[in-house]
Amino acid sequence: MLVEGPVEIVLEDGSTVVCDRFQVAVCTCRRSRAYPLCDTSHRRRRHTAHEE
Ligand code: FES
């Protein structure tokens, strides 16, 4: 999900992630290794997901 930056994201554990880009891709699928920021892991095709 693209949002206008800069952003400060508060995670469930209370920690915060700050990103000062003018546009920030926020992960909504939770597959990102850079969660809460999107690293395009959501693009992985379904039939390869079980190979992890
Ligand atoms: S939305 Fe989760 S990796 Fe892109």
* Domain boundaries of the chain, sorted by first residue: 2-43
State the Cα–Cα distance between residues 8 and 14, nearest whole angstrom: 12
Does ligand 1 have an atom closer than 6 angstroms to the CB of 28?
Answer: yes
Strand partners, 9: 17
State the Cα–Cα distance between residues 4 and 6, nearest whole angstrom: 7
Report pLDDT for 44: 81
Report pLDDT for 48: 57
Flag whether pLDDT at 45 surpasses 90: no
Flag whether pLDDT at 49 surpasses 60: no
What percentage of the chain has pLDDT greater than the value 70?
87
Specify the ligand 1 atom closest to the Cα of 29.
Answer: 2
Among candidates 37, 43, 47, 52, which has minimal Cα distance to 2?
Answer: 37
CA atoms 3, 19, 15, 49: torsion sign? positive
Pocket test for ligand 1, best of 1, 24, 26, 28 (most atoms within 8 A of CB): 28
State the Cα–Cα distance between residues 37 and 35, nearest whole angstrom: 5
